[in-house]
Chain A
């Protein structure tokens, strides 16, 4: 903290720390002198705080291991997979690349949290951007576990899992193709810093230790954004009652917008979201599919993870592209009588 600030964020961060520490000290001193400290502690135990804390920890505990596993897998690819191995083997033509990427989730079923560091590493290792983006978006949905949970949740509506997989596949492939002109330097964040830090930090020649050192780097690169995303998703889950949806499902266009937005704000795991949305009985299936696609692709916690791993400009465009494609496909389906 005593170093000369290198950028405006550093300056702001220093001020935030000082302000928070001073305010907290004054607050505690004041409440301590008036004997109100026990009441303040009780305020932390209100039902809303309980819900917020439980949901926050639930999202973190569920996603943390996947994030760690994804980081380890990413580290293993960095250390064990030779430089041009993936580049040579992955289809280079755009359409085959998009299709292969989108189908990779079937054999590589890593959930949303885990596949972000993995995708970052795949792009770094030379996998075409088209294939990597298609994999990033499709893998949380086009995998056996998500398909099985969707079938189970909608046992009376057998076709919905096909619809979910179909729309996810379409959105993932088209998004991959849209971003095919991007270079990895336009997508990956801290590419040069990472290269520098890697050469500095390898204190061991042991390959396993090197895998773990890369994993640690990837975990801390994305972990903080995951915590921010989880805090925001928990906040929305605490303050937005699901009951406000009421009978809004009568209007198909409105219901697509509502459930799409709710899917993003709630940011549920793709393995579980089908069970939650299956209880929204007044909504049409097209809106339920949007809920189950928007959440795993551009949900609040995932969105922040994207910002951790990828450049802001690219992330903004990716989120906008996915949202527009989802809306376009759903509206087309409604017009065609879905």
Chain B
């Protein structure tokens, strides 16, 4: 009985269905794909369940095909990604990925709500206006005069390599559109003051003033402090 091919198909679908269910329930799918894709994963889960139910009779049928070594490898291959996740247990894209992918300090394109965000932040009573890196780089591209000299607070991870000037770091966040395969590191150069307390690769909160160097935004006179890792490490 254990050599029947339909049984292995059934098991592959069952394991994938359980895996999708766990990812959805624990919200861990956000590590791999954009949060807006959750309905798509729910659809995938439902289709797997339907296929399992529809294929159940074939598992019991006596005339079912026998499993060959080639087919066994095929089904193992389909199970392999889940096995890998169990062994590696990934938590987030490591900071080294920012180096291999190349940090982008400019951001073309506009966010539909960009000007509304800017306006609401300018009207707020806070001394440091809160933005995320995507908003900040979009504003630097579209409304540079409005943010030049503005005091801001931004979060990201501290990144340091040999290409940066001494005494500066890069504040980085991964921007994803669909999934982690298209993740692009966005960064802004930060000049920390002497009161800053952090080390590279740490999640930090930066309080500072926006300035421009050769048309590229930077954060000057910045106080950099450690901050907790956000529940969602990506920007969309």
Chain A interfacial positions (CB closer than 8 Å to B): 1-3, 5-6, 9-10, 13-14, 16-17, 41, 44-45, 47-51, 53-62, 64-65, 68-69, 72, 149, 152-157, 200-201, 203-204, 208-209, 212-213, 215-216, 219-220, 223-224, 227-228, 230-231, 233-234, 237-238, 240-243, 245, 266, 268-269, 271-273, 275-276, 278-279, 281
Contact = CB atoms under 8 A, between A and B. Distances in A.
A201 B181 contact: no
Nearest to A239: B100
- Most central of B32, B102, B182, B184 by chain A CB within 10 Å: B182
Given A17-B73, A65-B41, A156-B108, A10 B68 contact: yes
B77 A227 contact: yes
B181 A53 contact: no
A228 B31 CA distance: 21
Interface residues of B, number: 67
A153 B175 CA distance: 13
Contacts of A203: 57-58, 61
Given A223-B78, A227-B78, A216 B51 contact: yes
A273 B184 CA distance: 11
A220 B184 CA distance: 32
A283 B157 CA distance: 28
A64 B44 contact: yes
Contact of B177 (A49, A215, A230, A271): A271
Given A61-B33, A242-B100, A3 B66 contact: yes
Contacts of A209: 54
B181 to A, nearest CB: 5
Nearest to A246: B102
Interface in B10-61: 13, 16, 23, 29, 31-33, 37, 40-41, 43-44, 47-48, 50-51, 53-55, 57-58, 61
**Interface majority SS (helix, strand, loop, mixed), chain B:** helix
Contacts of B176: 272
A3 B68 contact: yes
Given A13-B68, A69-B47, A271 B106 contact: no
Nearest to A243: B102
Interface of B: 3, 9, 13, 16, 23, 29, 31-33, 37, 40-41, 43-44, 47-48, 50-51, 53-55, 57-58, 61, 63, 66-70, 72-74, 77-78, 80-81, 84-85, 87-94, 96-97, 99-102, 104, 106, 108-110, 175-182, 184
Contacts of A213: 54-55, 58
A272 B23 CA distance: 22
A232 to B, nearest CB: 12
A10 B69 contact: yes
Given A49-B88, A62-B33, A212-B51, A233 B58 contact: no
B98 to A, nearest CB: 10
Contact of B108 (A13, A64, A155, A269): A155
B54 A152 contact: no
A230 B180 CA distance: 13
A184 B47 CA distance: 29
A58 B54 CA distance: 28
Given A69-B43, A72-B47, A56 B84 contact: yes
The 9 nearest A-B residue pairs measured at CB: A212-B54, A58-B179, A65-B44, A47-B94, A13-B69, A272-B178, A58-B180, A272-B177, A241-B100
Nearest to B43: A65
A193 B176 CA distance: 42
A20 to B, nearest CB: 9
24 contacts: A47-B96, A50-B91, A51-B94, A56-B81, A58-B32, A59-B181, A61-B23, A61-B29, A61-B179, A62-B33, A65-B43, A200-B63, A212-B51, A212-B54, A213-B54, A216-B51, A238-B100, A240-B100, A241-B101, A242-B100, A243-B101, A268-B178, A275-B184, A276-B182
